[in-house]
């Protein structure tokens, strides 16, 4: 089994994700190879909360251009974590 800190890469802090926090939904960038069960277990171990549901999306990297050279940013996976009603909030997001 992989380390939970290897599955959760970083939180996504945008205006839309901040609005979702009122409904106890938190957004993270996760490892592309992880599944919903691994993501759920990792969030519960790292933050000590109870997860109700996990929604995942595979995001395609954007094409970038510098003069005549064309490149592409890496593809990544986004997970929206919904906590149960009785669960505490994730303290990481409280100061933001």
45-74: pLDDT as tens digits? 999 999 999 999 999 999 999 999 999 999
Q: Can you give the pTM of this predicted structure?
A: 0.88
Domain boundaries, position 53: 4-86
Asked if residue 77 lies in contact with residue 32, where contact means CB atoms within 8 angstroms, the answer is yes
User: Which residue is it, tokens 């993270």?
Assistant: 28
Asked if residue 26 lies in contact with residue 11, where contact means CB atoms within 8 angstroms, the answer is yes
Helix (H, G, I), strand (E, B) or coil at 37: helix
- The C-alpha atoms of residue 42 and residue 3 are separated, in whole angstroms, by 8
Asked if residue 26 lies in contact with residue 10, where contact means CB atoms within 8 angstroms, the answer is no
CATH of the domain at 56: 3.30.70.330
Residue 36 DSSP code = H
Split into its structural domains, the chain has a count of: 1
pLDDT at 93: 67
């Amino acid at each position: 089994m992989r380390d939970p800190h290897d599955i959760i890469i970083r939180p996504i802090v945008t205006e839309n994700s901040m609005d979702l926090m009122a409904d106890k939904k938190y957004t993270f960038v996760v490892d592309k190879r992880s599944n919903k069960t691994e993501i759920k277990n990792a969030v519960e171990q790292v933050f000590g909360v109870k997860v109700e549901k996990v929604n995942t999306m595979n995001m395609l990297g954007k094409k970038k251009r510098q003069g005549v050279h064309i490149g592409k940013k890496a593809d990544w996976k986004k997970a929206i974590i919904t906590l149960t009603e009785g669960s505490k909030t994730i303290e990481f997001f409280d100061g933001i």
